[in-house]
Amino acid sequence: MKGKVYLVGGGPGDPELLTLKATKILARANIVLHDALVSREVLALAAAGAELIDVGKRCGRKLLTQEEINALLVSYATSHEVVVRLKGGDPLLFGRAGEEITALREAGVEFEIVPGITAAFGAAAAAGFSLTDRRVASQVLFTTIQRDTDNRSIQWGGISSTTTLVLYMPGTDYARVMEQLRDAGWPDDMPCAIVSHASGKDQEIRSTVLAKLGDEATLPAPAIMVVGRVVAEVAEEISREFRIGPEIAGRTSHPMVI
């Protein structure tokens, strides 16, 4: 084996949210296999001569199967020194990294994992609430409803009134999400925030309550939902004046709608 594979977190969008390690590895990359989620600004940090391959999925259309991606990683490691598998957010959260790690291990390929800022943290920072605000929350659950292929309610064991729920891949049917949350026992007045393109140029934030979630206009993907009392703690304040930092001044900002 000639090379090493780096499973790198590309963060939520803003290239300044990449780790120093990720930036350095990208600058040495010979080849970068990236997801559709990875922003153009982050891809621009790859070495000038690096080959960029989009292995992501768009609108449900798979460009490559997971097995093909695994095989590509193993095969590129025989011909390239620095192979970067670049994923949005953190590589180990909802990123199919488990299957890639197994394939690399089985093929005896050297690899290293470089964590990134996951969408949940990008969204919380954008909206200005603490996911574990001790006044109202004691735990956080990172989950998704997309795995529910047979249309049953997902069993979220261990949720309570002090759980903050972060829903990755909420999809476009917010009414369905609302029903699933209600089925799981969440009350109608539970605050929900939807954050689209967290940390990116097109960032948008909406805040509502569970009973009205189905009435919200769908925000552009990628979007993430945060459900819990922590949203309410600051929602009113943010709705009055949604401040953006000077470094992103000039980008579009949208006030929260309560």
Interface contacts to ligand SAH, rule CB under 6 A: 12-13, 37, 87-90, 93-95, 118-119, 122-123, 168-169, 195-200, 222-224
Minimum distance from CB of 130 to ligand SAH (Å)? 18
Taking the complex as a whole, the smallest distance from the CB of residue 183 to ligand SAH amounts, in Å, to 21
Q: Of the residues 4, 21, 57, 212, which is catalytic?
A: 57
Shortest distance (Å) from residue 78 CB to ligand SAH: 27
Whose Cβ is closer to ligand SAH: residue 15's or residue 200's?
200
Nearest residue to the partner ligand SAH, using Cβ? 89
Nearer Cβ to ligand SAH (80/123) = 123
Residue in 14, 35, 90, 133 annotated catalytic:
35
Of 131, 141, 127, residue with least CA distance to 181: 141
148 is catalytic: no
* Active-site annotation holds for 212: no
Minimum CB distance to ligand SAH, residue 25 (Å): 17
Nearer to ligand SAH, 16 or 81 (CB): 16
User: CB-wise, 119 or 238, nearer to ligand SAH?
Assistant: 119
Catalytic residues: 35, 57
